[in-house]
Amino acid sequence: MRLATGDYLTGHVAPSARDDKSTPPFNAYKTNETDSCALSENNSLQSQDHLQIVARATNDAVRNWDVRTGAVVWPQGLASLLGYCQSSIPTQIGFWQEHVHPEDVADVMARIGAALAGCGEHWSGEYRFRHGNGDYLHILERALISRNGEGRAIGFVGSLMDITARKQLQDQLCRSQKMEAFGQLASGVAHDFSNFLTTILGYSDLVLAQTGPKGTVASHVSEIRSAAGRASVLTGQLLAFSRRQALESRVVEGNSLIANLERSVLRLIGESIRIIFHLRDPKESAYIKVDPGQLIQILLNLALNARDAMPNGGQLTFETAVVDLSDESKPAFLCGDFIPGEYVVISVTDTGVGMNDKVRAHLFEPFFTTKDRGSGLGLATSYGIVHQSGGHIRVESEEGKGTTVRIYLPKVPPPPSPYHKPSRKKPPTGNETILVLEDDIGVRHMSVRVLRNLGYQVIEAANGDDAQRLIGKNSGRRIHLLLTDMVMPQMSGRFFADWLRKVSPRTKIVFVSGYLEELMQPEDKIDNGMFFLPKPFDAEQLAQTIRHVLDT
């Protein structure tokens, strides 16, 4: 590449430079050959010694480049910072140019060329440089450009600083900020989605109550209700993802967790990748105790890694199995002590480019990544989460033959079912007066209809101001229970409940919300004597909760 000044960045000697007998040899620390304050030879040597001391103190590398001839001298840091032996390195600028990352070299050369063609004395820039071990370092170079009496660049002295760790921290911070923003978005979406699902579930139950459990219409409504139930799992995943604190582990069924993942997110990884699921016999359930949100995040990260390893498409396979591992048959696990017993194995296999032994050796180290813009924390975090859950993780990979990641989690007994399908028994009824305060019209109308069908006297309001006016009009009427959304515009449900308790101390309070109870603001936390019903809920859950609170 020829620079704008007429010199050669590749090290070829410009004829004008060779023939210029009046130009003295390049001195890296002399910015003007006609400067009346030129250093003496002894002072120059002292300055060079001082520069080397400073460079050693900062662990920076220094390159001294004679722009006219292309010669480069490395006074400091070639071995300690960049990993190259001084005696084996060419003394031309081509060595530096060849080791700059291919994606960075054109831009860096262009900017240096512009700086040399200008009149400034300083240049700085960031680029990636290949270390002697083959890895790329992120380098910040600050350089002094010396010029002759005509203002022409004759020398370039650069100090190269390794900023790889800083770049990784910056990338990590950027990633954290993006994930935080996405978590807030996910939480808001889940809240609104929960309102829709509550309406669907509630009206489905109302239709089934009128038509009975048999018949074509009942069958269709049951399918609608079943789909809404599966969608409610997705809202739970979004809320778990948006949490800002550690989640408590709970017992979940491995196959159902993978199946719900299939329906929700995995289809977004690209049309060129075929996704296959080999799940063990659903009749033989296999339960694990784990944080579902964290395990889902691990599987999503593995899916995205597999996508990146298959740029031209391929096949991604999810598989579940149960294995009985004894002391004799235990594999070489990486995560802590091995406890014999039955394990549920979740395997993620891709047909991508695979990994070599060197990459596998560092796979679970924090900040280690083979991606130019990766944080290097995905597998390190996965390692910690699986280990904390009492499990193990293994990676099997070979270059050109794809990768398989196996997650081993201890098998546990099934828990009591937290969700009950609508029973054939009639829900509990009552004749008390209930105030329903809900800003979402679908949820409000559904709740009012369900409660009225159960015999309750219902007053409904869309906001706190309307509710206060209605209470004023019915001042002689006792309100036995308040069913209120927690998050509403203008006046929150908690604020209204505190006001109502002063007016009517005996009124019971039930809060409903699409947000997790533990994520509420401190001022919205419910007190003893108040109850919480998470969205989405169905007609039976509403009826059971109302009756339980009134009878408490």
Domain at 524, CATH number: 3.40.50.2300
Q: Give yes or no: residues 519 and 458 share one domain.
A: yes
How would residue 294 be classed by pLDDT, with cut points 50, 70 and 90?
Answer: confident
Confidence (pTM): 0.43
Verify that 261 and 373 share a domain, yes or no: yes
Beta bridge partners of 71: 92
pLDDT at 433 over 70: yes
- Boundary of a domain, candidates 110, 132, 162: 162
Q: Which helix (H) or strand (E) holds 154?
A: strand 153-162
What integer is the mean pLDDT of 63-69? Answer: 93
Rounded to whole angstroms, what are the CA distances from 98 to 89, 212, 372?
12, 77, 19
Whether residue 56 lies inside any domain: the answer is yes
| CA proximity to 274, closest of 319, 308, 234, 307 | 307
pLDDT above 60 for 45: no
Query: Do the domain assignments include residue 426?
Result: no
Q: Could you read off the pLDDT of 296-337 as tens digits, one per residue?
A: 878 887 888 888 888 888 889 999 998 888 755 555 454 445
Q: Which of 11, 158, 183 is nearest to 76 (CA)?
A: 158
The answer to the question of residue 314 being in a domain is yes
In this predicted structure, the answer to whether residue 533 has a pLDDT above a threshold of 80 is yes
The answer to whether residue 242 is domain-embedded is no
Residue 49 has pLDDT above 90, yes or no: no
Q: What is the mean pLDDT of residues 278-305?
A: 81
Measured CA to CA, the distance from residue 263 to residue 255 in angstroms comes to 13
Of 128, 162, 196, the domain-final residue: 162
Cα angle 240, 243, 247 (rounded to 5 degrees) comes to 70
Ranges assigned E (strand) in 19-135: 61-66, 72-76, 122-130
Residue with tokens 């989640």: 247
Q: How confident is the model at residue 455 (pLDDT cuts 50, 70, 90)?
A: very high
- Predicted pLDDT at 104: 93
CA–CA separation, 375 and 369 (whole Å): 7
Residue 532's pLDDT is what?
85
Same domain, 400 and 327: yes
Query: For residue 152, is pLDDT > 90?
Result: yes
C-alpha atoms less than 13 angstroms from C-alpha of 340 in its C-beta half-sphere: 4
**Banded model confidence at residue 3, pLDDT cuts 50, 70, 90:** very low
357 with 384, same domain: the answer is yes
Q: Does a structural domain hold residue 90?
A: yes
Q: Residue 245's pLDDT band (boundaries 50, 70, 90)?
A: very low
- pLDDT for residue 148: 93
Query: Is residue 402 located within the same domain as residue 448?
Result: no
For residue 434, name the pLDDT band (cuts at 50, 70, 90).
Answer: very high
CATH number reported for the structural domain that contains residue 264 in this entry: 3.30.565.10
Over residues 420-430, the pLDDT tens digits come to: 455 556 788 99
pLDDT band for position 183 (cuts 50, 70, 90): low
Q: Single out the residue of 316, 319, 299, 296 nearest to residue 307, CA to CA.
A: 316
- pLDDT category at 215 given cuts 50, 70, 90 is confident
What is the mean pLDDT of the segment spanning 341-359? 85
CB neighbours (10 Å) of residue 149? Answer: 11
Would you say the C-alpha torsion 43, 49, 54, 60 has a positive or negative sign?
A: positive
Per-residue pLDDT, 108: 94
Q: Is 62 left (phi over 0), alpha (psi -120 to 50) or beta?
A: beta
How many H helices and E strands in the chain?
Answer: 14, 17
> In terms of C-beta density within 10 A (0-12 exposed, 13-18 middle, 19 or more buried), how is residue 5 classed?
middle
Answer yes or no: are the C-beta atoms of 183 and 242 closer than 8 Å.
Answer: yes
- Non-local (6+) Cβ contacts of 312 within 8 A are 272
Secondary structure of 497-531 in the HEC alphabet?
A: HHHHHHHCCCCEEEEEECCCHHHCCHHHCCCCCEE
The verdict on 414 and 441 lying in the same domain is: no
471 and 363 part of one domain: no
Q: Which of 142, 162, 182 is the last residue of a domain?
A: 162
CATH code of 129's domain? 3.30.450.20
Beta strand ranges found along 273-329 (DSSP E): 273-278, 287-290, 314-325
Inside any domain, residue 193? no
Q: Is the pLDDT of residue 541 over 60?
A: yes
Asked whether residue 216 is domain-assigned, the answer is no
Strand order in the sheet with 72-76: 72-76, 61-66, 153-162, 136-147, 122-130
Residues 359 and 473 reside in one and the same domain: no
Percent of the chain with pLDDT over 90: 24
Whether residue 27 has pLDDT greater than 70: no
Residue 466, C-beta contacts closer than 8 angstroms, at least 6 positions apart: none
Q: What is the pLDDT of residue 518?
A: 43
- Tell me the average pLDDT across 272-298: 81
* Region 83-105 average pLDDT: 90
Quick one: CA dihedral 304, 310, 315, 318, positive or negative?
A: negative
**Do 410 and 480 belong to one domain?**
no
151 lies in the same domain as 25: yes
The pLDDT of residue 285 is 74
d(CA 169, CA 484): 44
Residue count of the chain:
552
Q: How many domains does the chain have?
A: 3
| Residue carrying the six token digits 């802590």 | 336
Which residues on adjacent β-strands are paired with residue 397?
Answer: 403
Q: For strand 341-350 and strand 314-325, is the pairing parallel, antiparallel, or unpaired? A: antiparallel
On average, the pLDDT of the chain sits at 77
Q: Tell me: do 450 and 413 sit in the same domain.
A: no
Q: What is the mean pLDDT of residues 46-61?
A: 67
pLDDT of 140 over the 90 cut:
yes
**170: confidence class by pLDDT, cuts 50, 70, 90:** confident
| Percentage above 70 pLDDT, the chain | 71
* Within a domain: 351: yes
d(CA 277, CA 267) in angstroms, rounded, equals 13
Q: Which residues pair with 459 in a beta bridge?
A: 435
Q: What is the pLDDT of residue 425?
A: 66
Lowest mean pLDDT: which of 31-35, 260-264, 317-321?
31-35
Whether residue 239 is predicted with pLDDT greater than 70 in this model: the reply is no
Residue 536: asked if its preceding bond is cis (omega within 30°), the reply is yes
- Give the CA distances from residue 360 to residues 168, 319, 349, in Å, rounded to whole numbers and listed in that order: 20, 22, 15
* The pLDDT of residue 203 is above 70: yes
* Domain housing 367: 250-419
Q: Are 262 and 408 members of one domain?
A: yes
